[in-house]
Amino acid sequence: MSDMGHDNPVLVELTRGTTVESCHRGAIAVADAQGERVLGLGDVESPILPRSAIKALQAMILVESCAADAFGLSDAELAVACASHSGDPVHIEAVRSLLGKAGLDESALACGAHWPISEKVTAELMRAGKHPLPIHNNCSGKHAGMLASAVHLGLDPRGYERPDHALQIRIGRLISEICGIRLSPDHAGIDGCSVPTWPLSLDALAQGFARFATGAGLAPARGRAAASLRRACFAHPVLVAGEGRFDTVAMASLAPSVFVKGGAEGVHCAALPELGLGIAVKVDDGAKRGAERAIAEVLAALVPEARTSLAGELEGELANWRGMRVGQIVASADLLQALAALETAARRAETSASSIV
Amino acid sequence: MSDMGHDNPVLVELTRGTTVESCHRGAIAVADAQGERVLGLGDVESPILPRSAIKALQAMILVESCAADAFGLSDAELAVACASHSGDPVHIEAVRSLLGKAGLDESALACGAHWPISEKVTAELMRAGKHPLPIHNNCSGKHAGMLASAVHLGLDPRGYERPDHALQIRIGRLISEICGIRLSPDHAGIDGCSVPTWPLSLDALAQGFARFATGAGLAPARGRAAASLRRACFAHPVLVAGEGRFDTVAMASLAPSVFVKGGAEGVHCAALPELGLGIAVKVDDGAKRGAERAIAEVLAALVPEARTSLAGELEGELANWRGMRVGQIVASADLLQALAALETAARRAETSASSIV
């Protein structure tokens, strides 16, 4: 069993009154497509499980296999294939549509069911005395994309989610190549939605996202697949998550400079096409509030517009049940120091590049 | 701003496949009524915010002031005054009844509203197109107890929740005396339900709970008040939390050997009357799953029956949306080592006490 987060630094703190009430440790990697490490804060070499943060990488097969073209998938359908969606009508429609184009319906989904992330839809289901269906599962778009890929590849879609299914083996190989790291099937875990999740270091994830950002380091067809998925997500940020959620808010205002995607257990990744960089964050304890604040800080350091777009996240006000301000979520001194150095280095690189005659 | 959790040890890990996916650091104190430290794992001296873990201590005023006697409060009403309740009908009835006996109704509650912890009640409210009321707030029983205390003490109940209200000042003094630590009003935070929350070390909390456990170290009237609250909670474990929740499950089977109460941001405390000990846990990142597993381990080390009663928590199986086993929550090596030493010391003390002629 691999050790975890060897004394990772505190990235984010929660204050209430004059007390630091809670804190979140973790690690952050920023890299370019060649794997050059631009930032390594904490343990960026030990493997972590990326969970939903890599849905777009898992969705590459859908485009690269030409399934997307063959089935005439729209950008909306590609976006939901990369999504951890809220289960709103727009998401459900896109998933059904994707499945329909592949000649399937939602009975093929093996993701399991949970109450949709959307409180509105949950309330409607409860009001109607209904229970959620697999299609409400935030991963149903990813699964629809996987099913469509399997069908196009001439594979039996039954058991498509199993680690020994040819589709998952191909997806694993794709991720391995994009991230430049050997994946061991023996070490794969099972995700919440039943597909495999492979251990990857933050360094490798950052490199993978840098390559996803621009296509650099990828074969042309693969680079075009990445471009298609980026374009689709940038065109439909609401479909990638949902109204008011971090990834949607960020991409709605920062596309096409920022592609960003979170995953369970405090994972968050981003691809920055204009800078050719990838970012990978893992919060040791798995807290979403820690990961979202941490990646917001990294984005703000690298993409000035992000400081405005993510102002709410960066202010981090905590309110209680009566709406009284009771505390704040703040970036740690260690994180701010590391990012100040990053911001300086980024500006130097920009100046240096523009001074080459 | 006080620093937090100076490199606290990992207490609990979450594994998926062969990877340690996430981990929770924190600190644990176990002490007797004299403040003698029986276990100090991690930083047990820096202040933390105890949140709802100390509701029973906040409720002491209700009994000690004789409000409980004057209003003829039942054990059910005393239990809900100590509760972080699920908002089920039994809880709502007990809170309404308590308020009624003090000549008040739920319009006096200043805790704010949130969807009840009970999914069933939430579904019913949604189905009826309703929104939750302050009485559904998990803290409404605590607030009802505070209101009743204020009325009995002849204080204006309006503003009872404010830090400068005479009631809160009295409660603060009571907690300060029980825990043997000076509280500074300047450092109080505001809780989720709007009442003050004071910074206390885990050492002080453990001592406070050891005194609450037996009355040792407390003036006789205060000791009797503690006994009344213990008795009430032991008689009505469902009212202190709710069906299926940790504190209810633990006390339903372990009363009267264990009084246990959790609080937001990963705090969990326990009072062990037969051993004369108090336990205080704080998980750095605030995660309930970390705190519940940690205190379950401490209870199992000190109270053999707890290993059976809390078997589900101690097994820590993680299942995904399709009910497949995908991982496990486990105690860390550091925690197990510290508790093995505790268990040995406890058995030695027991043997030594029984060998005194």
Task: Please give the Cα distance from A98 to A100 (Å, whole number).
Answer: 5
Nearest by CB to residue B17, choosing from A14, A188, A287, is A188
- When pLDDT is averaged across residues A233-252 and rounded to a whole number, the result is 98
Instruction: List pLDDT tens digits, range A72-116.
Output: 999 999 999 999 999 999 999 999 999 999 999 999 999 999 999
**Torsional sign, CA A328, A333, A335, A337:** positive
Task: Please give the Cα distance from B12 to B32 (Å, whole number).
Answer: 25
Instruction: List pLDDT tens digits, range B126-143.
Output: 888 899 999 999 999 999
Indicate which of B11, B21, B51 best probes the interface with A, i.e. most A CBs within 10 Å of its own CB.
Answer: B21
Predicted pLDDT of residue B2: 41
Residue A4, pLDDT above cutoff 90: no
Instruction: List pLDDT tens digits, range B159-177.
Output: 999 999 999 999 999 999 9
B203-213 in b/e burial notation, b at 16+ Cβ within 10 A? bbbbbbbbbbb
Residue A347, pLDDT above cutoff 90: no
The CA distance from B12 to the nearest CA of chain A, in Å, is: 10
- When pLDDT is averaged across residues B31-39 and rounded to a whole number, the result is 96
Predicted pLDDT of residue B42: 97
Contacts with B256 (C-beta within 8 Å, 6 or more apart), sequence order: B230, B234, B273, B274
The CA distance from B338 to the nearest CA of chain A, in Å, is: 19
Q: Across the interface, do B48 and A10 touch by the CB < 8 Å criterion?
A: no
Its pTM stands at 0.96
Res. A1 pLDDT band, cuts 50 70 90: very low
Q: Across the interface, do A13 and B4 touch by the CB < 8 Å criterion?
A: yes
Instruction: List pLDDT tens digits, range A41-72.
Output: 999 999 999 999 999 999 999 999 999 999 99
Q: Across the interface, do B321 and A137 touch by the CB < 8 Å criterion?
A: yes
The CA distance from A246 to the nearest CA of chain B, in Å, is: 20
Q: Is residue B99 within 8 Å of residue B108, measured between CB atoms? A: yes
Q: Does B132 touch chain A (CB under 8 A)?
A: no
Res. B24 pLDDT band, cuts 50 70 90: very high
Nearest by CB to residue A284, choosing from B3, B17, B23, is B23
- When pLDDT is averaged across residues A285-309 and rounded to a whole number, the result is 97
Predicted pLDDT of residue B351: 72
Q: Does B17 touch chain A (CB under 8 A)?
A: yes
Instruction: List pLDDT tens digits, range A127-149.
Output: 888 999 999 999 999 999 999 99
- When pLDDT is averaged across residues B190-218 and rounded to a whole number, the result is 97
Q: Which A residues in the span 303-322 are in contact with B, Cβ-Cβ below 8 Å?
A: 320-322
Res. B354 pLDDT band, cuts 50 70 90: low
Percent of chain B surpassing pLDDT 70:
96
The reply to whether omega before B220 is within 30° of 0 (cis) is no
Predicted pLDDT of residue A3: 55
Q: Which residues of A touch B331 (CB under 8 A)?
A: none
The CA distance from A42 to the nearest CA of chain B, in Å, is: 14
Q: Is residue A229 within 8 Å of residue A82, measured between CB atoms? A: yes
The CA distance from B265 to the nearest CA of chain A, in Å, is: 7
Residue A356, pLDDT above cutoff 60: no
Q: Across the interface, do B265 and A22 touch by the CB < 8 Å criterion?
A: yes
Predicted pLDDT of residue A357: 42
Q: Does B265 touch chain A (CB under 8 A)?
A: yes
Residue B353, pLDDT above cutoff 70: no
Predicted pLDDT of residue B193: 96
Predicted pLDDT of residue A141: 98
Nearest by CB to residue B321, choosing from A47, A48, A192, is A192
Q: Is residue A31 within 8 Å of residue A16, measured between CB atoms? A: no
Q: Across the interface, do B19 and A199 touch by the CB < 8 Å criterion?
A: yes
- When pLDDT is averaged across residues B104-123 and rounded to a whole number, the result is 96
CA atoms within a 13 Å half-sphere pointing along the CA-CB vector of A344: 6
- When pLDDT is averaged across residues B219-238 and rounded to a whole number, the result is 98
Residue of A nearest to B16 (CA): A189
Strand, helix or coil for residue B196: strand
Find the DSSP H helices in chain A: 55-58, 60-64, 67-70, 75-81, 89-101, 119-127, 140-152, 166-179, 202-214, 220-235, 237-240, 246-254, 288-302, 304-309, 311-315, 333-354
Task: Please give the Cα distance from A154 to A211 (Å, whole number).
Answer: 29
Res. B355 pLDDT band, cuts 50 70 90: low
Res. B5 pLDDT band, cuts 50 70 90: low
Q: What torsion do the CA atoms of B88, B89, B93, B95 make, to the nearest 10 degrees?
A: 10
Task: Please give the Cα distance from A201 to A179 (Å, whole number).
Answer: 9
CA angle (B33 as vertex; B32, B35 as ends), nearest 5: 70
Q: Across the interface, do A20 and B13 touch by the CB < 8 Å criterion?
A: no
Supply the ipTM of this predicted assembly: 0.96
| Residue B44 DSSP class | -
Q: Which B residues in the span 41-80 are in contact with A, Cβ-Cβ below 8 Å?
A: 47-49
The CA distance from B149 to the nearest CA of chain A, in Å, is: 22
Q: Across the interface, do A320 and B19 touch by the CB < 8 Å criterion?
A: no
Residue A29, pLDDT above cutoff 50: yes
Is the model more confident about A6 or about B79?
Answer: B79
Q: Across the interface, do B19 and A2 touch by the CB < 8 Å criterion?
A: yes
Q: Across the interface, do B4 and A24 touch by the CB < 8 Å criterion?
A: no
Average pLDDT, chain A: 95
The CA distance from A13 to the nearest CA of chain B, in Å, is: 9
Res. B346 pLDDT band, cuts 50 70 90: confident
Q: Which A residues in the span 163-222 are in contact with B, Cβ-Cβ below 8 Å?
A: 186-194, 197, 199
Q: Is residue A39 within 8 Å of residue A30, measured between CB atoms? A: yes
Indicate which of B18, B285, B317, B318 best probes the interface with A, i.e. most A CBs within 10 Å of its own CB.
Answer: B285
Q: Across the interface, do A190 and B324 touch by the CB < 8 Å criterion?
A: yes
Predicted pLDDT of residue B357: 42
| Residue B254 DSSP class | H
Percent of chain A surpassing pLDDT 90:
90
- When pLDDT is averaged across residues A307-334 and rounded to a whole number, the result is 97
Task: Please give the Cα distance from A75 to A229 (Å, whole number).
Answer: 8
- When pLDDT is averaged across residues B184-213 and rounded to a whole number, the result is 95
* Both tokens assigned to B334: 């550091």
Predicted pLDDT of residue A91: 98
The CA distance from B48 to the nearest CA of chain A, in Å, is: 6
Nearest by CB to residue A126, choosing from B123, B284, B285, is B123
Is the model more confident about B96 or about B123?
Answer: B96
Q: Across the interface, do B126 and A127 touch by the CB < 8 Å criterion?
A: yes
Strand, helix or coil for residue B128: coil
Instruction: List pLDDT tens digits, range B36-66.
Output: 999 999 999 999 999 999 999 999 999 999 9
